[in-house]
Chains A and B, each alone.
Chain A
Amino acid sequence: MNIVGEKTIRLAHGNGGRLMRELIDRVFARHFSELGPDKTLDASPFSLPTGVAITSVDAFTVQPLEFPGGDIGTLAVNGTVNDLAVSGARPHFLTLSAILEEGLEIAVLDRVVASLAAEARRTGVKIIAGDTKVVPRGHGGGIYFTTTGIGVRNTGVTLGLDRIQVGDAILVSGPIGDHGIAVMLARQEFDLHGNIRSDCAPVIDLAEAAAALGAHFMRDPTRGGLAGVVNEIASATGFGLRLDETCVPIRDEVRGVCEILGYDPYTLACEGRVVAIVAQTTAREVLAAWRDLAGGESAEIVGTVTNPPARVVLATSAGGERILPELEDEPLPRIC
């Protein structure tokens, strides 16, 4: 990939002139082709199927830009698409704002935009508007992306915190903490190595399967991890939640790194998992449906919703119990 002799991003790539046009043509437009907006327009018209439109916005500042199992491009698609999916919506469109730092290698941008485009195709979303800015060297982390997602709620789906009831089951669609540890290891700040890959992936199929079976509530446990989601549910509903540690899927490698560095796997980010609250009577059905889907093979029922007080109790595998608090401080480098 080459832009007439340029190897790195210059401030001029953001100035609205020839260089910027070339960058957009040869990186963004080339990878987006049929996905992308009409470059001749300043604003794009779009139409949606009938139903309730849902939107969500997220910014991505992950360091490093590329890590095992994904990069900032896959994250920018899945992070926003998954927010829509767990709200019971089918994602249709994304907008993309890119803030590039002077000095960024264009080859890196090219790779990341290529995987962003591939992930958009995989999830079936079109990119209907885009913007690029360049900031001076030292003022950004190479690439920042912001994506806005637009989708339509699937018919018949009613998800909400108000539907959660005492006795409901808590499900997780796969091992927790993979993304957090993969990114942390990729930063190479510590002399630690491992084969852990980020779980970064769309959860559209998982979310639709659970919603179709009448799930009461869903969330994707990104920043703050599983502990964040269950504590949010406890404080919003006033109910208690009880998790059984022996049932929570955590890879041995993730557990190992957590032990060495003193991290709590329950607070680590996931980027391709769903936490669902479902009626006890349908829990087995949702579990079976998930296990048949890609990314849901290791799903588990991990706990139940209990009477107040509003707190999360972890029944430990050793036979004790303790409160599972949410993440208080930021023990980890930025990972999303």
Chain B
Amino acid sequence: MTDQPDRARNWLDRIRKLPIDRPMRIMNVCGGHERTIAMAGLRSALPPQVQLIAGPGCPVCICPEEDIHDAIFLSLRAGVTVVAFGDMLRVPANLPKSQPRTLDQARAAGGHVRPIASPTDAIRIARDRPDQQIVFFAAGFETTTAPVAGMLAHELPPNLSILLSARLTWPAVAMLLDSDSPGFDGLIAPGHVAAVMGPEEWRFVSQRHGLASAIAGFSPDGLLSALHAVIMQLLEGRAALENRYERVVRPGGNPTARRLIDEMLDITEANWRGIGTIARSGFALKPHLVDRDARRKFEIESDSGRKRAGEMPVGCDCAKVVLGKIKPDQCRLYAKACTPREPVGPCMVSDEGACHIWWASGVRTQSSEPAAAA
């Protein structure tokens, strides 16, 4: 860590010296990248023409409302314990105030809910509590899905099942690029996702859409190096996918992880909260794993008649934030009705959510800049 700050300053100096003559909107699609940008204060240090946009990088934020609703109801059933990554505990479903609206509130109301940090925690809890049905509410992108697939390849305790809510990252970017107004000129591709699935997944950005792109790591210097690559491409009128996280991202990704995902999971169309259905953007358990499927085991049927199912909470602009259409502090509720202490939407709950990250990095007021009509 000793020379890292020096390297970061070096990249920053190199970027500052470039003859940037027009606005460059560069999107990142990973909560980890957004956190590095916010915590290192990079927006304040970069030339004003370089605009860093937080894109779809928060799996918690787009986790379908129905899935959260189902997890809450499962946790309130006798003999069932829901385990989930910490972030998922505080994400609200669109339920009346008189009912538990988050897993945390369900726990306070007597439901069985436990936070975990990895799939191994879920297995340990299932072994420790053979008298309980353990439901692992597994929401996440490829990086969290790979360990879930790995877990499924093992002999698992019979009382453990999965409520899978896993998503792929690139289809959301493809959807944006296929739309009339993608809203960005270059892309910082997610390092960890590329390390698992392979950098090839992101070639479409430059090859099909002609956008500048680079894969970045998560230290400030790694991120600035990728940013430099994207800005250089834009200045030179080139479009390529540069790998600036070579230490970790190898051609083809992680073969074991990919094999496990292939063997355990199918790819399906999937719902993104507040955004809608995106083709080939979700994972589902393969038919041979039907016994592990909590939806089957507990005969959960989504109630399509439920009012506002699938939507963001009233007044919450998370869907626009996730797609990079507005900045977090341009939401009318940011820092007013919506704070981490009393979050309105998932983007303020999750550590990966842009609203939460901005708040944690010290942004405590609303932007004076009006949101562009999107």
Contact = CB atoms under 8 A, between A and B. Distances in A.
Interface in A264-278: 264
A64 B120 CA distance: 22
Interface in B20-40: 35, 38-40
Nearest to B356: A262
Interface residues of A, number: 25
B339 A314 contact: no
Interface stretch (A51-59, A174-182, A317-325): A317-325
Contacts of B363: 323
Interface stretch (A89-97, A185-193, A301-309): A185-193
A302 to B, nearest CB: 15
Contacts of A189: 115, 117
Contacts of A328: 339-341, 359-360
A317 B364 contact: no
Contacts of B360: 264, 325, 328
A321 B341 contact: no
A2 interface: no
Interface residues of B, number: 35
B44 to A, nearest CB: 5
Interface in A86-138: none
Contacts of B4: 317
B259 interface: no
A291 interface: no
B328 to A, nearest CB: 14
Given A189-B115, A255-B1, A264-B360, A322 B38 contact: yes
A246 interface: yes
Contact of B40 (A190, A316, A323, A329): A316
Interface centre among B42, B361, B362 (most CB of A within 10 A): B362
A320 B220 CA distance: 10
B338 to A, nearest CB: 12
B267 interface: no
B263 interface: no
Interface stretch (B5-13, B149-157, B239-247): B5-13
Contacts of B340: 328-329
Nearest to B90: A329
Given A322-B41, A323-B361, A252 B9 contact: no
Contacts of B351: 262
A261 interface: yes
A184 to B, nearest CB: 11
Closest CB pairs A-B (n = 3): A323-B362, A320-B41, A318-B220
Given A262-B35, A318-B224, 9 more contacts: A191-B118, A318-B12, A319-B5, A319-B9, A322-B44, A323-B363, A323-B364, A328-B341, A328-B360
